[in-house]
């Protein structure tokens, strides 16, 4: 039994390590647009904003739901494939989060709610950081697409666990851990 718990702990630590790498890469993609991650830049820009809060008026903001989504969709119909990156990329970037959350937190009953809230909050954190630092554009459509991506990831995870139960006839390693956390809550 002790060996089994050690194995579970190793798997959990591996999941956490991969999650940290995922968040790092997501931060690199969203805030730094693929450039090297330098949190010093974020600090300098936040300090500049705190010293001159009027900078907020110089930032580009989209608070109109579906404005950018509609614009991108229309561009796609004109065969401009570059706009698909914005639409699909915002969804794809958060799909792994929808898988990590139930694996790392368990509690099957409220996992969908957790995924929704944590996807929304993480996306909001990135959007607010972009707004305050000027390192991007605050876009309500990004919030919606990112949250949708997290929910799609959760659906994929749930379907994969259900399929595994059907095919294997029992619980997988991840499912056992997932369900054992549920019973402790």
Is 39 within 8 Å of 32 (Cβ atoms)?
Answer: no
**Does the pLDDT at position 39 exceed 50?**
yes
Phi, psi of 62 (to 5 degrees): -120, 110
How confident is the model at residue 11, as a pLDDT?
92
DSSP secondary structure letter of residue 107: -
For 10-24, 110-124, 141-155, 157-171, which range has the lowest pLDDT when averaged over its residues? 157-171
**Does the pLDDT at position 10 exceed 70?**
yes
How confident is the model at residue 71, as a pLDDT?
87
Is 119 within 8 Å of 112 (Cβ atoms)?
Answer: no
How confident is the model at residue 185, as a pLDDT?
45
Residue 1 confidence class, pLDDT cut points 50, 70, 90: low
Is 154 within 8 Å of 115 (Cβ atoms)?
Answer: yes
How confident is the model at residue 76, as a pLDDT?
78
What average pLDDT does the chain have? 88
How confident is the model at residue 174, as a pLDDT?
53
Q: Give mean pLDDT, residues 69-98.
A: 86
Using CB atoms within 10 Å of the CB of residue 150, give its burial: 0 to 12 exposed, 13 to 18 middle, 19+ buried.
Answer: buried
CB atoms within 10 A of CB 149: 23
Which of 156, 86, 137, 143 has its CA nearest to residue 117?
143
For 68-77, 93-102, 134-143, which range has the lowest pLDDT when averaged over its residues? 68-77
Residue 143 confidence class, pLDDT cut points 50, 70, 90: very high
């Amino acid at each position: 039994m002790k060996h089994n718990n050690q194995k579970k702990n190793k798997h959990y630590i591996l999941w956490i390590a991969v999650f940290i790498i995922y968040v790092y890469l997501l931060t690199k993609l969203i805030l730094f647009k693929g450039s090297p991650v330098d949190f010093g830049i974020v600090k300098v820009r936040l300090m500049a904003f705190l010293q001159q809060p009027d900078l907020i008026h110089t930032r580009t903001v989209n608070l109109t739901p579906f404005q950018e989504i509609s614009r991108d969709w229309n561009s796609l119909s004109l065969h401009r494939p570059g706009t698909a990156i914005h639409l699909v990329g915002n969804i794809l970037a958060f799909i792994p989060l929808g898988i990590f959350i139930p694996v790392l937190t368990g509690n099957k009953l409220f996992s969908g709610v957790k995924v929704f809230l944590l996807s929304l909050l993480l996306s909001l954190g990135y959007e607010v950081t972009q707004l305050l630092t000027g390192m991007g554009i605050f876009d309500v459509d990004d919030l919606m697409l990112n949250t949708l991506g997290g929910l799609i990831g959760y659906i994929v995870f749930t379907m994969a666990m259900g399929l595994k139960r059907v095919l294997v006839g029992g619980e997988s390693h991840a499912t056992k851990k997932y369900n054992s956390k549920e019973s402790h809550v």
